Amino acid sequence: EKWAATRAKYPPTTLALQHFDATYGVQLGQQWPSVRVALLSERKYGALFNNFSHDAALADLEALGCRDFIRDIDAEAQPCPEQESKVVAEGESICVSMKKSDADGQQLSPLQLSPHIKCLVFPRGDITRFKPAKPDMLGLLGYYLMDAASVLPCLALNVQEGHNVLDLCAAPGGKSLALLQSQCIGFLCVNDSSVSRTTRLKKVLHSYVPKQLLTDEKLRVTSFDGTKWGEIERNTFDRVLVDVPCTTDRHSLMEDDNNIFSKIRTGERRKLPQLQAELLLAGIQAACPGGEIVYSTCTLSQNQNMSVVEQAVHSARENHGIHLQVVDLQPFTHMFRKTFNFAPDLPVGEMVIPHLTANFGPIYMCKLRRLT
Amino acid sequence: LCSSTSLHHELSSPSKKPDTELSLRIFLDMGFTDTQAEQLHDTVSKLRGGSAAKHVLSTLTALFALGLNPSSVLKLLDKCPELYSVKEPQLQQRIDNLRKLGLGEGSIQRVVAYYPQILTVPVKTVKTAVGFLREKCLFTVQQVTDILRDSPAVLTENLGQLEYKFQYVYFRMGVKQGEMVKSRLFRFTLDEVRHRHSFLERRGLYQTPDKKGQTVILNPKLDSILSVDQNTFLTDVALASAEEYDVFKRLMAREWHEQEQEGGRIEAD
Ligand SMILES: C[S@@+](CC[C@H](N)C(=O)[O-])C[C@H]1O[C@@H](n2cnc3c(N)ncnc32)[C@H](O)[C@@H]1O
């Protein structure tokens, strides 16, 4: 009795695990046990270095054995110069036939990775934890701790000088902060429908970014329902990040509080793919023609990842006449395989899958380019 | 048995004299080879204080009486030099007690050779441990005998630790006493057991049975989890790489250490 006494019969974390066993067991096959044990064990963090702080954090972290994973790349894994893209064909689903991209200059190469975004991690197999960041003399913190894999969607967004950028679901702000580190954004619009979470987001920004960079000309923080964005501000942004609410697999396995697998939230959970598709579609509409959109989640679920992308791409074309191209991120992710474990051969998008030796993720991302 | 008893009597008088008189001669007479006798003589003369050396002969006699040969006697004394200084009546009492607990001639001989420390454990401690195994863990008399034979070190383990290990395997892993004995559970440290079990559990390959003793998946037998080396465990049971398991063990060590610090240990009631 001692071991079982006080637990509720099916706490949300148990329900989440049962759900994942059923779906990911099939989806990932033999890989699932390794992903499962990683999800249930302590995760790894990355320290997003804050360029605006005067703390000596970088040197300190490097002295501890950390390295900036963005620069610590596989020499052989440079992306090929002629980048290929997956093109959306007519019909139900996304075709995986390869076609050369004609949009020159849009190609991802290591040179185009923002030179300013730095994220430090301990090497594979090293389980050392980061200490909390310290404030410098102006009170700005030296680094922000987040899943290092969460930096990938920001890098993949490939923000260029002067870009007008929208972060549609931004709170608590880790990815906004990573985008700001690129120091080349013309205007950043951060939005999150939750007012309490946007309040937290503002606090985060103020602990990391100097006031003069958070002025109305540079930044706007809003609390709109992101699904409505297409009605508010269409064809506007060069870059849009759509980091949607999802089943947050890791969190759902660890915390019973506020868990999306609790019985009372079943309806909300079932509606997630629909909400995600609406948010992505709104993000697509908010982007300008030629603009790029990155969709990301922190779940392994196919229904919330690939299917959502397919649905949104389909609906953009059918209902709004917007044609999109799925940008092949494989050359990009290939560079970082020293640090992360990527799911092999996804038909659409790329996914970091957790593994004990590199316990980051799950992070799914898919990049779309608006052709019209 | 008779002959060894007489040997015992014959030799008990020199043992009362100062240890310097323990000559090579006596050791040779007992059947040790020249080198063995010298080695023994050497060791004994280095023993501190007369009281230590004075029990040498009675100890040797008792060990021979168990049917051990000179070279295994020497080997086990090497492993456990404390035995040189155990007083004769105590030694005899301890041996008798083990016999009473069901260890027959062959068994007792093997146990002593494998784990000579067993003869340094006071009878009272043995009784407490056996009582614990019988009453708290509900092992049968025969099972207790098997445990003593296969895992004699159980007698020197801290009872709190032992209880925790038993409860972990019984409640958390849902394993019954018979399986525990068969897998020689008490040969393994709590950490070894927990590492392997929680690794399997988190991989989805082991489940705690419900109240009716049922699980959705088929759990591997405790025996197949414990009685194999790490490589076999990883390739045959856990289906995982050594790197994963290595990281996992380090993570667990930290997790458990922190739980203990928080006082989150399961209390025994
Ligand atoms: C995965 S989190 C975003 C994490 C954030 N991008 C970061 O890196 O820190 C998803 C967010 O979406 C927000 N959200 C949920 N529904 C929304 C909606 N309809 N419109 C905009 N934001 C929404 C949630 O409040 C939550 O903060």
CA distance B248 to chain A (A): 7
Final residue of a structural domain among B68, B91, B115:
B115
pLDDT of A317-357, one tens digit each?
A: 999 999 999 999 999 999 999 999 999 989 999 999 999 99
Residue B164 belongs to a domain? yes
pLDDT at B233 exceeding the cut of 90: yes
Residue B268 belongs to a domain? no
pLDDT at A7 exceeding the cut of 60: no
Q: Let me know whether B110 and B168 are in one domain.
A: no
pLDDT of B170-225, one tens digit each?
A: 999 999 999 999 999 999 999 999 999 999 999 999 999 998 889 999 999 999 99
Residue B246 belongs to a domain? yes
Q: Let me know whether B230 and B159 are in one domain.
A: yes
Domain that holds residue B255: 124-261
Q: Let me know whether B88 and B154 are in one domain.
A: no
The one-letter amino acid at A319: N
Q: Which fold has domain A12-370?
A: Rossmann fold (3.40.50)
Mean pLDDT of B131-135: 96
Q: Let me know whether B181 and B84 are in one domain.
A: no
d(CA B40, CA B55): 14
Q: Is the CB of A153 under 6 A from ligand 1?
A: no
Q: Write out the DSSP string of B55-115.
A: THHHHHHHHHHTT--HHHHHHHHHH-GGGGG--HHHHHHHHHHHHHTT--HHHHHHHHHH-
Q: Let me know whether B28 and B144 are in one domain.
A: no
Q: What is the 3-state secondary structure (H, E, C) of chain A?
A: CCCCCCCCCCCHHHHHHHHHHHHHHHHHHHHHHHHHHHHCCCCCCEEEECCCCCCCHHHHHHHCCCEECCCCCCHHHCCCCCCEEEECCCCCCCCCCEEECCCCCCCCCHHHCCCCCCEEECCCCCCCCCCCCCECCCCCECEEEECHHHHHHHHHHCCCCCEEEEECCCCCCHHHHHHHHCCCEEEEEEECCCHHHHHHHHHHHHHHCCHHHCCCCCEEEECCCHHHHHHHCCCCEEEEEEECCCCCHHHHHHCCCCCCCCHHHHHHHHCHHHHHHHHHHHHHHHEEEEEEEEEEECCCCCCCCHHHHHHHHHHHHHHHCCCEEEECCHHHHHCCCCCCCECCCCCCCEEECCECCECCCCEEEEEEEECC
The one-letter amino acid at A366: C
Task: Count CB-CB contacts under 10 A for residue A124.
Answer: 17
Q: Is the CB of A247 under 6 A from ligand 1?
A: no
DSSP single-letter state for residue B134: I
Report the percent of chain B where pLDDT is more than 90. Answer: 62
Mean pLDDT in chain B? 87
d(CA B138, CA B32): 45
Q: For chain A, which residues make up each domain, given as ranges?
A: 12-370
Cβ contact B199–A37 (<8 Å): yes
Q: Let me know whether B102 and B130 are in one domain.
A: no
Q: Let me know whether B148 and B109 are in one domain.
A: no
CA distance B233 to chain A (A): 15
For position B18, what pLDDT does the model report? 46
pLDDT at B10 exceeding the cut of 60: no
Residue B132 belongs to a domain? yes
Token pair of B78 as six digits: 């090497």
Q: Let me know whether B128 and B257 are in one domain.
A: yes
Q: Is the CB of A170 under 6 A from ligand 1?
A: yes
Q: Is there a contact between A113 and A154 (Cβ–Cβ < 8 Å)?
A: no
Nearest CA in chain A to B238: A33
Ligand 1 atom nearest to A243, measured from its CA:
6
Cβ contact B251–A41 (<8 Å): yes
Cβ contact A40–B240 (<8 Å): no
Final residue of a structural domain among B115, B136, B160:
B115
CATH number at residue B220: 1.25.70.10
For position B37, what pLDDT does the model report? 85
Cβ contact A33–B205 (<8 Å): yes
| Total tally of structural domains belonging to chain B | 2
pLDDT of A233-282, one tens digit each?
A: 999 999 999 999 999 999 999 999 999 999 999 999 999 999 999 999 99
Triad A83, A85, A87: Cα angle to 5°: 160
C-alpha distances out from residue B196 to B15, B173, B225, B227, B240, Å: 51, 11, 7, 11, 12
Better pLDDT: A258 or A5: A258
Final residue of a structural domain among B115, B141, B174:
B115
Q: Is the CB of A283 under 6 A from ligand 1?
A: no
pLDDT at A67 exceeding the cut of 70: yes
Nearest to A125 among B199, B243, B255 (CB): B243
Mean pLDDT of B27-35: 85
For position A348, what pLDDT does the model report? 97
pLDDT of A134-176, one tens digit each?
A: 999 999 999 999 999 999 999 999 999 999 999 999 999 999 9
Q: Is there a contact between A335 and A74 (Cβ–Cβ < 8 Å)?
A: yes
pLDDT of B73-123, one tens digit each?
A: 999 988 998 888 888 899 999 999 999 999 988 899 999 999 999 999 999
Q: Let me know whether B227 and B245 are in one domain.
A: yes
pLDDT at A5 exceeding the cut of 60: no
Nearest to A41 among B202, B239, B246 (CB): B202
Residue B269 belongs to a domain? no
pLDDT of A175-194, one tens digit each?
A: 999 999 999 999 999 999 99
Interacting residues of B250 by C-beta distance below 8 A, sequence separation 6+: A127
C-alpha distances out from residue B27 to A256, B10, B47, B79, B83, Å: 71, 13, 16, 19, 17
pLDDT at B156 exceeding the cut of 60: yes
Residue B266 belongs to a domain? no
Ligand 1 atom nearest to A194, measured from its CA:
25
**B243 contacts in chain A (CB < 8 Å):** 125, 356-357
For position B25, what pLDDT does the model report? 82
Q: Is there a contact between A368 and A94 (Cβ–Cβ < 8 Å)?
A: no
Q: Let me know whether B137 and B257 are in one domain.
A: yes
pLDDT of B40-62, one tens digit each?
A: 888 887 776 655 667 888 888 88
Residue B72 belongs to a domain? yes
Q: Is the dihedral of CA A155, A156, A160, A164 positive or negative?
A: negative
Burial label, A1 (beta-carbon count in 10 A; 0-12, 13-18, 19+)? exposed
pLDDT at B72 exceeding the cut of 60: yes
Contacting B with CB below 8 Å, chain A residues are 1-4, 21, 25, 30, 32-34, 36-37, 40-42, 125, 127, 355-357
Report the percent of chain B where pLDDT is more than 70. Answer: 87
Cβ contact B171–A21 (<8 Å): no
Whether A95 is catalytic is: no
Residue B267 belongs to a domain? no
Q: Let me know whether B135 and B46 are in one domain.
A: no
d(CA A51, CA A57): 10
Q: Is there a contact between A193 and A67 (Cβ–Cβ < 8 Å)?
A: no
Distance from the alpha carbon of residue A199 to the mean position of ligand 1, in angstroms: 13
**B266 contacts in chain A (CB < 8 Å):** 2-3
DSSP single-letter state for residue B138: -
Q: Let me know whether B152 and B177 are in one domain.
A: yes
**A250 contacts in chain B (CB < 8 Å):** none
pLDDT of A78-126, one tens digit each?
A: 544 444 444 443 333 332 233 334 444 444 444 378 889 999 999 999 9
